[in-house]
Amino acid sequence: MNIVVLAGGLSPERSVSLSTGTMVAEALRAQGHRAALVDMYFGLEDWSGPLEDCFDAPIPEVYRRVAREAPDLAQIQAARRDQGSSLFGKDVLELCRRADLVFLALHGACGEDGRVQAAFDLLGIPYTGAGFLSSAIAMDKDLTKRMVADVVATPGWKTVTYTAEDIGGLVESARLPLVVKPVDSGSSIGVSIARTREELRDALTGGLALGGRTVLEAYIAGREIQVGILEDAALPSIEIIPRAGFYDYENKYQPGAAEEVCPAELPPETEQRLREAALRVYRTLGLSVYARADFILDGAGEPWFLEINTLPGMTPTSLVPQEAAAAGIGYGTLVSRIVSASLEARKQGR
């Protein structure tokens, strides 16, 4: 097949996305597909040949490694020659129309919030992962928690939309400690744990740059456990043990920053409860193909659902590939199954 691997985009997670896209494109080519790795935001600005030749173009090695810090999006915007408002760069949609499938290697609001999926549905372009509506719901941490609160335990939360003038009141009324999360970001960008009022003030001040709509979630101490789902079946769980701090952006993507134990060392009954909880969330939100659910396992062994990711990372340090490997599914097979399941999901209108 001719497959466009769509990555990058105008997202704080673009570096992660480009690394995912590199790995996926290489795996697809190893399976005999023609795969074009394309940055959604910049498109084919620097491409002068026939579009058809993009499927055989070299894959830039520079995309493989994830940058230590999230990019400055203002600089990214300024670097594009086309200063229009479209998030699709030059010739991206035209190339996608020529493909048999678009593999969405996008992460963050530019790709996981359902807008790209909706555009492709309207254009009749098949793509990987969940459909537009369930993607949009899962991207919104507040809406996700509202929908699943009756089927899984999730920490208490309050979602606030605020300005700089509101921060003082929010700080004074808060019951600490809290986890502060932008409502629609991924890769733990903008996430912090506030144990003091000063830390909460700093977190809320920083959140203004990410839109000022924030989830204030009760902090639960415990083990960080994540459960991948592939084709409506839960994969073995994985435990994340950061070497310092919590599982933030840097600890997620810098090699050696966190210890990852897969399968997680858990009693069988706890493992089963985690898998069942992940599947309940997945099915309640109407997701399809694959996803990854994040939990905290408290000191009493109770799992608390935090959020679910509809386009999990596929970088060298990503979790779903590790979980798949623990189930005997190699990276190439994992990519192949995502492709096959996605084509079937699109046929069924999911």
> Domain holding 72: CATH number?
3.40.50.20
Residue 249 designated active-site:
no
Mean pLDDT of each 10-residue bin along the chain, 350 residues long: 96 91 97 97 94 95 83 92 95 97 92 95 97 96 96 96 93 94 70 94 89 92 97 97 61 64 97 98 98 97 96 89 96 97 91
- Does 122 lie in the same domain as 12? yes
Q: Would you state the pLDDT for residue 256?
A: 60
- Say which CATH number the domain at 319 has: 3.30.470.20
280 CB-near residues (< 8 Å, 6+ apart):
148, 151, 152
- Does 52 lie in the same domain as 21? yes
134 domain residue, yes or no: no
Q: Would you state the pLDDT for residue 212?
A: 82
- Does 107 lie in the same domain as 52? yes
Q: How far apart are CA 254 and CA 249, in angstroms?
A: 9
Residue 307 designated active-site:
yes
How far, in Å, are 69, 80, 222, 338 from residue 73 at the CA level? 12, 11, 34, 30
Q: How far apart are CA 165 and CA 194, in angstroms?
A: 19
Q: Would you state the pLDDT for residue 185?
A: 66
Which is catalytic among the residues 26, 140, 294, 323?
294
Q: Which of 151, 280, 288, 293 is nearest to 232 (CA)?
A: 288
Q: Count of CB atoms within 10 A of residue 117's CB?
A: 27
End position of a domain, from candidates 175, 196, 218: 218
Q: How far apart are CA 207 and CA 180, in angstroms?
A: 9
Q: Which of 341, 345, 335 is nearest to 32 (CA)?
A: 335
Q: How far apart are CA 329 and CA 337, in angstroms?
A: 10
Residue 292 designated active-site:
yes
Which is catalytic among the residues 26, 39, 250, 307?
307
133 domain residue, yes or no: no
Number of domains in the chain: 3
Q: How far apart are CA 252 and CA 259, in angstroms?
A: 10
Residue 82 designated active-site:
no
Q: Would you state the pLDDT for residue 135?
A: 97
Q: Under a CB-based contact definition with an 8 Å cutoff, are residues 134 and 286 in contact? A: yes
10 domain residue, yes or no: yes
- Does 231 lie in the same domain as 210? no
Q: Which of 95, 156, 104 is nearest to 123 (CA)?
A: 95
- Does 269 lie in the same domain as 287? yes
Residue 131 designated active-site:
no
Q: Would you state the pLDDT for residue 248?
A: 47
- Does 121 lie in the same domain as 6? yes
Q: With H, G, I as helix, E, B as strand and everything else as coil, classify residue 6.
A: strand
Q: Which helix (H) or strand (E) holds 231?
A: none
Q: Is the dihedral of CA 130, 286, 108, 67 positive or negative?
A: negative
Q: Which helix (H) or strand (E) holds 345?
A: helix 331-347
Residue 188 designated active-site:
no
- Does 235 lie in the same domain as 258? yes
Which is catalytic among the residues 19, 187, 318, 342?
187
Residues spanned by the domain of 243? 139-152+221-347
Q: Which amino acid is at 350?
A: R
Q: Which of 42, 9, 7, 44 is nearest to 23 (CA)?
A: 7
Q: How far is the first Cα of the chain from the last one, in angstroms, to the nearest whole number?
A: 21
- Does 301 lie in the same domain as 195? no
- Does 342 lie in the same domain as 242? yes
Residue 77: Cβ-neighbour burial (10 angstroms; 0-12, 13-18, 19+): exposed
- Say which CATH number the domain at 186 has: 3.30.1490.20
Residue 79: Cβ-neighbour burial (10 angstroms; 0-12, 13-18, 19+): exposed
Which is catalytic among the residues 292, 323, 331, 342?
292
Residue 313 designated active-site:
yes
Q: Would you state the pLDDT for residue 244?
A: 61
- Does 143 lie in the same domain as 89? no
Which is catalytic among the residues 134, 237, 309, 318?
309
Beta strand spans in 150-282 (E): 157-161, 178-182, 192-194, 213-218, 223-230, 233-234, 238-242, 258-261
How far, in Å, are 55, 236, 292, 324 from residue 314 at the CA level? 20, 16, 11, 11
- Does 119 lie in the same domain as 68? yes
50 domain residue, yes or no: yes
Q: Secondary structure of 16-77 in the HEC alphabet?
A: HHHHHHHHHHHHHHHCCCEEEEEECCCECCCCCCCHHHHHHCCCCHHHCCCCCCCCCHHHHH
Q: With H, G, I as helix, E, B as strand and everything else as coil, classify residue 249.
A: helix
- Does 244 lie in the same domain as 121? no
259 domain residue, yes or no: yes
Q: Is the dihedral of CA 271, 274, 278, 279 positive or negative?
A: positive
250 domain residue, yes or no: yes
Residue 175 designated active-site:
no
Which is catalytic among the residues 184, 190, 313, 323?
313
End position of a domain, from candidates 168, 198, 218: 218
Q: Would you state the pLDDT for residue 247?
A: 45
